[in-house]
Amino acid sequence: MSSAGARHEAAIEEVWDRVRGTDRAVVVDSPPGAGKSTLVRELAKRLVAVGEHVPIVVQTNDQADDLVIALAGAGLSTGRLHGQDWTPPAGWPRTRVRTGTKLGELGGCDVVVGTAAKWAFVKSDERTWPLGVIDEAYQMSAAALVRVGHLFDRLLLVGDPGQLAPFTVADEHSVRSLATWPLDTAAGTLLRHHPGTPVIPLPVSWRLAPHTAPVISDAFYTRAFTAGAAPTDRRLELASLTHPALAHAAEHGWALLELPAAHVPRTDPALVATIADLVHQLVTAEVSTVDPSGPRPLSRADVAVGVVHRDQKAHVEAALQRRGVSGVTVDTANRLQGRQYEVVLAWHPLSGRRDASAFHLEAGRLCVLASRHRQACVVVSRAGVEEQLHAYPAAEPVWLGTDPPQVDGWEANRAFLERLHPHRIAAR
């Protein structure tokens, strides 16, 4: 076994020991693609093997569906607790899975998976569990944890600290005057109130390649991690001629495609067209993705476009539909959390903006966009982002009663751009 594999296994055994120990809560910090889902599946299996019932709290319906499919695939009898409007996705398992809008409909299931919003409807006088598992605990807000915390005597929180911080549609300044900060992360609020809680980092990213992992680790994480794959394990092969940015990214893992500097509306039509053209080329050219399991053609499900705002998503999707491209994921950073693709095209959050607002500077937003890929990531942007950063030094006030973010958004943005400097390509 490789040394990376050994370190990963050791971390998993440590988590298992802690879970079987006496700590009231355990936090697992997982960088992108560090085997968090595998860990949750493995722990659920071991817990069920020793006779436990395992409730799992996730944050979105997509995450719940993915996890249920994985757990059922591992042979566990799994219940999916869902809301009224839920419909099963394609590939929903036919056996070992029960679904229901109420806990009572899931009797006999060893594992029950639901979103935090759905678990909030379960009353603690109905039932409590000795141990609960929270997945994506850095995506979950303290406000969501307050609504489910009473269901569990002990908690295992698993998450990626580089994710987006929880947000609100309300005016944040009204909320900032509170003595409690309801938009803290679930893991953050637990660690704040229970400082003795053990935090176990997973040391190896299996998703990112050796040449892309250090950029993400340096720019966005306080606990360094390395790539588990060997440098020769993976590559993207382009048989036909494609855009230089795609060719560069296939070779180096990164490309920063820069359009001429301009201040443009949020739904920058030129950026939309550039991204749609890149996607079109990528899915029509002969591209194969190679990893230790062998080469295979790049499919549309392997490609994703990460954007910043929902209207950008709508415009890119519509542009793809006009080019006859379907099946490629287009979504905001917020909704891409926890997902993985071979190739990702990322809309730089600061592209074409006149200012650098806290929203667009958030480290988690850029981190999510830049860490969804296994093979290559093309960041598409208007030129001039560096100047923009220097013109807008971070001016967020320090809020009383909250912990400062572990990673400063402004510095993370600057560091990331610096690392991508050698991979710049000017758009034609």
Residue numbers at the binding site for other proteins (CB under 8 A): 24-25, 87-88, 120-121, 124, 142-143, 145-150, 155, 168-171, 174-175, 177-180, 182-183, 186, 189-190, 193-194, 265, 311, 314-315, 317-318, 320-321, 400-401
> By C-beta, is 98 or 147 nearer to other proteins?
147
The Cα–Cα gap between 302 and 175 comes to 40
Name the minimum Å distance from CB 362 to other proteins.
19
| Cα 157 to the center of its chain, rounded Å | 15
Residue of 114, 94, 115, 117 whose CA lies nearest to 105: 114
The Cα–Cα gap between 426 and 385 comes to 14
> By C-beta, is 91 or 171 nearer to other proteins?
171
The Cα–Cα gap between 103 and 111 comes to 12
Q: Which residue's structure tokens are 């997973």?
A: 202
User: Could you tell me if 148 and 393 are in contact, meaning their C-beta atoms sit under 8 angstroms apart?
Assistant: no
Name the minimum Å distance from CB 251 to other proteins.
32
Name the minimum Å distance from CB 271 to other proteins.
14
Name the minimum Å distance from CB 205 to other proteins.
28
Distances (CA, A) of 72 to 16, 110, 113, 116: 21, 11, 11, 20
The Cα–Cα gap between 249 and 246 comes to 5
Name the minimum Å distance from CB 212 to other proteins.
30
> By C-beta, is 1 or 169 nearer to other proteins?
169
Q: What is the CA radius of gyration of the chain?
A: 22
> By C-beta, is 93 or 182 nearer to other proteins?
182
Name the minimum Å distance from CB 50 to other proteins.
23
> By C-beta, is 219 or 320 nearer to other proteins?
320
User: Could you tell me if 275 and 328 are in contact, meaning their C-beta atoms sit under 8 angstroms apart?
Assistant: no
Beta strands in 69-203 (DSSP E): 78-81, 97-100, 111-115, 129-135, 152-159, 199-201
Cα dihedral 266, 271, 276, 279 sign: negative
> By C-beta, is 35 or 55 nearer to other proteins?
55
Backbone angles phi, psi at 154, to 5 degrees: -135, 160
Name the minimum Å distance from CB 24 to other proteins.
7
User: Could you tell me if 237 and 42 are in contact, meaning their C-beta atoms sit under 8 angstroms apart?
Assistant: no
The Cα–Cα gap between 110 and 224 comes to 35
Pairing of strands 294-297, 54-58: unpaired
> By C-beta, is 75 or 401 nearer to other proteins?
401
> By C-beta, is 24 or 296 nearer to other proteins?
24
